[in-house]
């Protein structure tokens, strides 16, 4: 069932509908699951940024790459790029990268990144990007000081935002907030009961992660079929930052697992050497929550 709509008007969805025919499809409910897109930064030269999708589509790796932002997209891609031979810098405006993750493990990851040659700068907010000849200049503030870095590619790693701007939600009477469509505990719009939302496009309190989106999609489907009975449970959602092995395992044989368990994240280290994800005896077993003390 491609698109469901009742009287609420969602012009962008109708637009997408036309790709499968000229018909306007009508239904009793609309499910908004449009995901997220890179956030507008409102800086000069923003159009020169490469998005994460464009980064994955690159045919060749530029020599000097700057990541604006210090979240998991920056670190995952920085490691890929550095290992493939690029000179990589990460500029993060906060005082600590990967702010939502375990500080001890983040410190180890930062150290491992430095050893790989990745330059990571905190308290450095990108303020503008400029083309100069065949390369780019990245301007950044560090307090009152201005820094300029030369790069061949500047990647947007400074946050994602619900992709709901073009849906004309006002015309549909669908309330929203910065984090996405405003919903009740059943993932139903607080202002239009014909509308539900799931995934990165919903303001539900869940992290914008694949397992959360999947769970929410399942709950919305069941609430639509059975009536409002099901609510999401965000405890123990696994979240993985792919990166280097952080202790004695051969490089590349372990991946770091962070568990966002409704409080400070807990973690485990998984041994992936023989294809299985077996918990390592030195780390907290995956699934056990370590709370407090961070
Ligand atoms: C680089 C990157 C790495 C990530 N790594 C991880 C990870 O390791 N682990 C993890 O859990 N999560 C990760 N995420 C987050 C994860 O991708 C999202 O949380 C998840 O995809 C959200 O699912 P969704 O269904 O809400 O949205 P999406 O998967 O984004 O799907 C939304 C779909 O809706 C379409 N769409 C948008 N607007 C409209 C419209 N108007 N009409 C019709 N269709 C529309 C979009 O084109 C898209 O196909 C990563 C994200 C990025 C960008």
What is the mean pLDDT for each group of 10 consecutive residues in the chain (294 residues)?
A: 40 40 71 94 97 96 97 93 96 91 85 93 96 97 92 97 90 92 97 94 90 95 97 83 57 44 40 37 30 28
Q: Read out DSSP for 42-56?
A: --BTGGGPBPHHHHH
| CA atoms of 253 and 273, how far apart (whole Å) | 5
Looking at residue 207, its pLDDT comes to 84
CB distance 260 to ligand 1 below 6 Å = no
Could you give phi then psi for residue 267, rounded to 5 degrees?
A: -150, 160
The one-character DSSP state at 268 is E
Q: Read out DSSP for 241-266?
A: E-----SSSPTTSEEEEEEE-SSS-E
Query: Tokens at residue 51, please?
Result: 């998005």
Number of domains into which the chain is organized: 2
Of 210, 226, 242, the last residue of a domain is 226
In a domain, 174, yes or no: yes
Q: How crowded is the C-beta side of 128, counted as CA atoms within 13 Å? A: 8
| Burial call 95-104: b when 16+ CB within 10 Å, e when fewer | eebbeebbee
The closest alpha carbon to 28, from 229, 230, 227, 232, belongs to: 227
Question: What is the Å distance from ligand 1's center to 198 Cα?
Answer: 11
The answer to whether 34 touches 164, Cβ cutoff 8 Å, is: yes
> What residues are paired with 121 via a beta bridge?
91
Q: Both 169 and 129 in a single domain?
A: no
Nearest CA to ligand 1 atom 35: 34
Write the CB contacts of 275 (distance below 8 Å, at least 6 apart in sequence): none
Mutation probe of ligand 1 site: the residue of 213, 216, 217, 239 with most atoms within 8 A of C-beta? 213
In a domain, 204, yes or no: yes
Task: Find the CATH number of the domain harbouring 82.
Answer: 3.50.50.60
Side by side, the strands of the sheet bearing 266-271 are 237-241, 254-260, 266-271, 278-279
Domain ranges, residue 124: 46-160
Looking at residue 82, its pLDDT comes to 96
In a domain, 188, yes or no: yes
Of 125, 160, 195, the last residue of a domain is 160
The tens digit of pLDDT for each residue in 180-220 reads 999 999 999 999 999 999 999 999 988 888 889 999 999 99
For the CA of 202, the closest atom of ligand 1 is 26
CB distance 210 to ligand 1 below 6 Å = yes
Nearest CA to ligand 1 atom 31: 35
Q: Both 193 and 99 in a single domain?
A: no
Q: Both 142 and 174 in a single domain?
A: no
Q: Which helix (H) or strand (E) holds 180?
A: strand 180-182
CB distance 200 to ligand 1 below 6 Å = yes
Q: How far is CA 99 from CA 92, 105, 184, 219, 236, in A?
A: 10, 11, 28, 29, 18
């Amino acid at each position: 069932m491609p698109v469901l709509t009742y009287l609420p008007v969602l012009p962008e969805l109708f637009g997408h509908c036309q790709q499968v025919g000229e018909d306007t499809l009508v239904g009793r409910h609309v499910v908004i699951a449009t995901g997220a897109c890179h956030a507008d930064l409102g800086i000069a030269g923003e159009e020169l940024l490469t998005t994460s999708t464009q980064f994955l589509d690159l045919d060749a790796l530029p020599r000097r790459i700057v990541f604006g932002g210090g979240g998991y997209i920056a670190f995952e891609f920085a490691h890929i790029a550095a290992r493939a031979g690029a000179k990589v810098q990460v500029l993060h405006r906060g005082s600590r990268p990967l702010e939502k993750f375990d500080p001890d493990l983040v410190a180890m990851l930062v150290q491992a990144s430095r050893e790989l040659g990745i330059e990571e700068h905190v308290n450095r907010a990108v303020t503008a990007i400029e083309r100069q000849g065949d390369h780019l200049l990245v301007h950044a503030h560090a307090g009152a000081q201005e820094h300029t870095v030369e790069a061949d590619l500047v990647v947007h790693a400074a946050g994602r935002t619900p992709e709901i701007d073009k849906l004309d939600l006002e015309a549909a009477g669908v309330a929203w907030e910065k984090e996405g469509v405003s919903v009740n505990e059943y993932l139903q719009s607080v202002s239009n009961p014909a509308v539900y939302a799931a995934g990165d496009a919903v303001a539900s309190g869940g992290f914008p992660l694949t397992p959360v989106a999947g769970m929410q999609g399942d709950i919305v489907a069941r609430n639509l079929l059975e009536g409002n009975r099901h609510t999401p449970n965000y405890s123990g959602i696994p979240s993985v930052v792919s990166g280097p092995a952080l202790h004695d395992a051969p490089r590349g044989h372990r991946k770091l697992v962070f568990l966002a368990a409704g409080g400070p994240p807990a973690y485990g280290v998984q041994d992936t050497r023989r294809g299985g994800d077996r918990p390592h005896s030195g780390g907290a077993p995956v699934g056990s929550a370590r709370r407090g003390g961070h």
